[in-house]
Amino acid sequence: MSELTGTGDPARSMALLWRTAEPAAPRGRGAAAGLSVDRVVAAALALADTEGLTALSMRRVASELGVGAMTLYTWVPGKGELLDLMVETVLGEVVDLLGGLKPTTPPDPDWRARLEAVARANWTVLERHPWLLQVATLGRPPLGPNVMAKYEIELRALDGTGLGEVDVDAVVTLVNGFVGGAARGVVEQAAAREATGTTEEQWWRAVEPYVAQVFDAEAYPTVARVGPVAGEANQAAYDPRRAFEFGLARLLDGVAVLVDAAGAAGRP
């Protein structure tokens, strides 16, 4: 089941996301004296990156920091607000990969190259933080500075294309949805390897003799023709990275048709 952003108190989440009202440090010694919102978020991210989102709880984060759970609540009021802060933080990595909100060099004049860079930056961050795929962020995203900057840069990728505002937003949503779906295949394969101790190729070699006993090429002639060729090319039933490259190219081809149509409509 997915976790949800936007489940915490809106006022407190926004204050933490924008650091407009960071809690005053409590008096104390030892680990508690050195705490901050940033340290709490960093500990939560390290836990999610190494053990997955299922390991995340306020009590566990407090334990990782060497403090009591009640001390942690001084800095972050609950798991909902903490998840907002985690998503906001890692999505800032997309902004960094794309050169920041105010790049020092002129943007690539080719919208296709800009949009491809957006897709690849999102892919990289999802590979770094696979737990992000378990968080539903579309409906109620954490509206912090990194999320705002990411959206701004992604929209800018389509500047000068002639697309209307609704279409620009829809294309950005389409690209991010595609990248998330493709990256999920990488995560699933990694989980299967960890759970079984075997690679995709090893699993298929093990199951192949049993498939041969029941497979009827006359009943499934297209599978018999396409399956072995695709399997040889992928070295598995499915290669998520190959699918990402293929799908991204086709997606950009489709956006190009939309851009060309917008240009034609705008010409006298």
pLDDT value, residue 90: 97
pLDDT value, residue 239: 87
Domain 3-156 -> CATH class: mainly alpha
Helix, coil or strand: residue 131: helix
Query: pLDDT by residue (tens digit) across 232-263?
Result: 877 777 788 999 999 999 999 999 999 999 98
CA separation for the pair 178, 90 (Å, rounded): 19
At residue 68, φ and ψ (nearest 5 deg) are -80, 155
pLDDT value, residue 200: 83
Give me Rg for the CA atoms of the chain. Answer: 23
pLDDT value, residue 104: 63
Segments of the chain scoring below 70 in pLDDT: 1, 22-31, 33, 104-107, 266-268
Q: How many CA atoms lie within 13 A of 33 on its CB side?
A: 4
Helix, coil or strand: residue 5: coil
* Contact between 64 and 46 (Cβ < 8 Å): yes
Q: To which residue do tokens 């609540």 refer?
A: 73
